[in-house]
DNA sequence: TGTTATTTGGGTAATTCGGGTG
DNA sequence: CCTGTCCGAATTACCCAAATAA
């Protein structure tokens, strides 16, 4: 393993926004709302875990009605 | 810029609606009916894969007669 | 040390959601 | 069966200037 410790890949707000096709400001709102965990740089900028973002993105569904058989 | 490149491009409901010349509401119905897969933002808004939309748009059919299979 | 791009923060329009109706 | 529209509520997008990141 490297000196960076584990494979903790951090993403910038622009990266996350691009992946969700939303505005970077929206990602900031998600972080403020506690919907997405964020790590702060010493200057106050936010960074997001790629693993968490990927997990949320994987929530793609067809949203079809699968009530009956 | 980083070379993180998004693996898939997502479209907003308005974008898809414009491409099909229908109301965004209709696109939502397609997603609800399972005819179109959708990814949700953390706020609940839907995003659609451009590749899937393009595939459907390119699925030009002659519409001759599809009564029997 | 300086330059360029990004992020932050607050406030206001535009879009989308969901259900119900024609 | 499929689509367009109305409503209220929620979410998201764009405006600015200043600070941070690389």
- pLDDT of B63 reads 59
- For A2-43, write each residue's pLDDT tens digit: 555 555 899 999 999 999 999 999 999 999 999 999 999 999
| Residue A58: closest C-alpha in chain B | B39
Stronger pLDDT, A67 or A47, i.e. the higher one: A47
Quote the mean pLDDT of chain B.
85
Is position B51 within any domain?
Answer: yes
Is A15 close to B33, i.e. CB distance below 8 A?
no
Does any domain span residue A39? yes
Tell me, yes or no, whether B69 lies in a domain.
no
* Tens-digit pLDDT profile for residues B25-54: 999 999 999 999 999 999 999 999 999 999
The residues, any chain, with a CB within 8 Å of residue A39's CB and separated by 6 or more, are: A10, A46, A47, A48, A49
Residue A9 counted as domain residue? yes
Domain that holds residue B30: 2-64
Runs of H (alpha helix) within chain B: 13-20, 24-32, 50-57
User: What is the reported pTM?
Assistant: 0.84
For residue A36, being part of any structural domain is answered with yes
Domain presence at residue A69: no
| pLDDT reading at B12 higher than 60 | yes
CATH number at residue A42: 1.10.1660.10
Residue A53 lies in a domain: yes
CA distance B40 to chain A (A): 7
**Distance between CA atoms of B41 and A23, rounded to whole angstroms?**
11
Specify the number of domains making up chain A: 1
Is residue B6 situated within a structural domain? yes
CB atoms within 10 A of CB A12: 17
Nearest CA in chain A to B10: A21
């Amino acid at each position: 393993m490297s000196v960076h410790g584990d494979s903790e890949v951090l993403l910038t707000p622009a990266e996350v926004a691009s992946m969700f096709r939303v505005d970077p400001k929206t990602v900031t709102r998600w972080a403020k709302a506690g919907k997405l965990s964020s790590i702060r740089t010493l200057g106050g900028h936010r960074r997001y875990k790629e693993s968490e973002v990927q997990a949320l993105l994987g929530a793609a569904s067809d949203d079809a009605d699968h009530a009956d058989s």
